Amino acid sequence: MKETLRVGVIGCGMISVNHFKAIRRLEGAKLTAVCDIDPAALEKAVSEQGVKGYQDYHDMFADVDVVHICTPHHLHAQMAVDALNACKHVLCEKPMAITAADAQRMIDAAKHSGKQLAICFQNRYNESSRKIRELLDSGKMGKVLGGSAVVTWDRGESYYGKAEWRGKWATEGGAVLINQAIHTFDLLRDYAGEIVDMKCSMSAKRLEDVIEAEDTCDMLLINQDGGRFLFYASNCGVGNTPVQLGLKCEQGEIRLYGNRVTVKMKDGTVTDEDYSSGFTDGKDYWGSGHGFLMEDFYRCLHTGDKFPIDGDEAMKTTILIEKAYTQHCQERRRAE
Ligand SMILES: NC(=O)c1ccc[n+]([C@@H]2O[C@H](COP(=O)([O-])OP(=O)(O)OC[C@H]3O[C@@H](n4cnc5c(N)ncnc54)[C@H](O)[C@@H]3O)[C@@H](O)[C@H]2O)c1
């Protein structure tokens, strides 16, 4: 019989619902507490989930073994450090942190406490993404020579109007790249291998009067073998187009469109599979992996295995995102 881990969620806004749903389905985990500084959000979560509520997250720690962080970006690092220092395991929503220095504080706290720190890049757990990872690991495709990824979604004035922290440098740390497109960026980075150079441009094309940061971003990433990877993301989309990602490999090409993976081998063999069937949570255009990720996280907590998307792994994406924003700010200063 598995020990039941008591789970507390900090931040009862939009994404907390996915956490509540996924926790409910897990064996060996039970939601016991929620926390929010907004009394209305807290009251709603308390009454819907039937658990204890806290306005100060520090007070919640006594009641839980695992803390899920679902708050605005600028709060992730300190909340994670505090939870780890209180000897709690942590699952933190993306982005890990706004800066690599903050992310390093989280890694150090996890090492010091001996507790697990996991970052919620749930799209790595989509069945389509896992299929691509499996293909690359099998050696069948040979080396990845280059690739591209495109995210075009619609986030307008009303989306940014719903929460004060969005679209601001201090609290979101950017916009489309660090928030909406981070999952696809993380996937491309993971498939590409080590990124040794990057060039990035950002602009606000539609929302310049609404947000401080970018609504559109494009990048060229170079990996350790000189392979080129193009990345384009925009919140100016007409609707939310499924994510597109392509990889050119020595032995063939892989294309991802939403949940569909098409593989064209050099010998002419083509396979085309739709992995939508495993859809568990959320919106299909941003992935269905929350449930799968949490299953694996809690499996690791019960077995003592290391969760694969830990602080060190998420740090690789954090560093590149920080570099992209640094380049953007330097460009802006030069232009002024
Ligand atoms: N994994 C995904 O696909 C995905 C999707 C959406 C959002 N997210 C991430 O989830 C996080 C939250 O996003 P959201 O859209 O749910 O935001 P939201 O604004 O809807 O909710 C955030 C909640 O945190 C609460 N909060 C703020 N400060 C707090 C504090 N000091 N203590 C306790 N609660 C506090 C707010 O009152 C609010 O209820 C962000 O990191 C976001 O990027 C992830």
Is the same domain home to 197 and 148? yes
Nearest ligand 1 atom to alpha carbon 282: 3
**pLDDT exceeds cutoff 80 at 98:** yes
Quote the number of domains for the chain: 2
**pLDDT exceeds cutoff 70 at 103:** yes
Give the domain range for residue 84: 5-122+295-308
**pLDDT exceeds cutoff 90 at 94:** yes
Question: In this predicted model, what pLDDT tens digit does every residue of 227-285 receive, in sequence order?
Answer: 999 999 999 999 999 999 999 999 999 999 998 999 999 999 999 999 886 555 666 66
What is the C-alpha to C-alpha distance for residues 225 and 211, in angstroms, rounded to an integer?
A: 37
Compare 27 and 316 and report the one with higher pLDDT. 316
Nearest ligand 1 atom to alpha carbon 287: 3
Whether 40 is in a domain gets the answer yes
Cβ–Cβ contacts within 10 Å for residue 63, how many?
14
Is the same domain home to 129 and 23? no
The pLDDT score that the predictor gives to residue 334 is: 83
The pLDDT score that the predictor gives to residue 232 is: 98
**What is the side-by-side strand order in the sheet with 228-234?**
195-203, 216-223, 228-234, 144-152, 244-249, 252-257, 260-265, 270-274
For the full predicted model, state whether its pTM sits above 0.85: yes
What is the C-alpha to C-alpha distance for residues 230 and 151, in angstroms, rounded to an integer?
A: 12
Helix 16-25 crosses helix 290-303 at what angle (to 10 degrees)? 50
User: How does residue 286 score in pLDDT terms, banded at 50, 70 and 90?
Assistant: low
Is the same domain home to 109 and 181? no
Asked if 238 and 245 count as a contact pair (C-beta separation under 8 A), the reply is no
Kindly state the helix (H) or strand (E) to which residue 109 belongs, with its residue range. helix 100-113
Beta strand spans in 153-285 (E): 195-203, 216-223, 228-234, 244-249, 252-257, 260-265, 270-274
CA 269 – ligand 1 centroid, Å: 44
The pLDDT score that the predictor gives to residue 278 is: 59
Is the same domain home to 75 and 147? no
The pLDDT score that the predictor gives to residue 329 is: 85
For 77-86, 149-158, 214-223, 282-291, which range has the lowest pLDDT when averaged over its residues?
282-291
Is the same domain home to 228 and 98? no
Is the same domain home to 142 and 61? no
- Closest alpha carbon to 210 in 163, 267, 157, 164: 157
Give the pocket of ligand 1 (CB within 6 Å): 10-15, 35-38, 41, 57, 70-73, 75, 93-94, 120, 122, 163, 179, 286
Ligand 1 pocket mutation pick from 9, 10, 14 by most atoms within 8 angstroms of CB? 14
- CATH number of 36's domain: 3.40.50.720
The pLDDT score that the predictor gives to residue 50 is: 98
The pLDDT score that the predictor gives to residue 160 is: 96
The pLDDT score that the predictor gives to residue 139 is: 97
- The overall average pLDDT reported for the chain is 95
Whether 173 is in a domain gets the answer yes
Question: In this predicted model, what pLDDT tens digit does every residue of 8-53 receive, in sequence order?
Answer: 999 999 999 999 999 999 999 999 999 999 999 999 999 999 999 9
